[in-house]
Amino acid sequence: MHEMMNYGNWQNFADITDKQKMLMGIGMGVWIVAWFAAGIAIDVFISRLMTEIAVQKGYADCRKKIFWINFFLPVFGWIYVMALPEKKPA
């Protein structure tokens, strides 16, 4: 015969109380916020790194523009920074 899978103490979703459903929803919300924050932190880190690479190439006057391009359009910003030629010293 078909056996019902046992997930912890609940036989199926109908056995879960409203309080347990609410707590599961809050837990999922915390994970979503944590992943979103981690993504933003990684994006900021990479944007700052690419800005420093552009500064080393001689584009210190364009710091803010290069940071925001890399923050909002990461892949295009990386290509942009890689394609920047070295500025010759004046």
pLDDT > 50? residue 1: no
Tell me if 59 sits within 8 A of 84, measured CB to CB: yes
- The CA distances from residue 15 to 4, 11, 18, 25, 83, in Å, are 13, 7, 10, 16, 59
For the stretch 51-90, pLDDT in tens is: 999 999 999 999 999 999 999 999 999 999 999 999 877 6
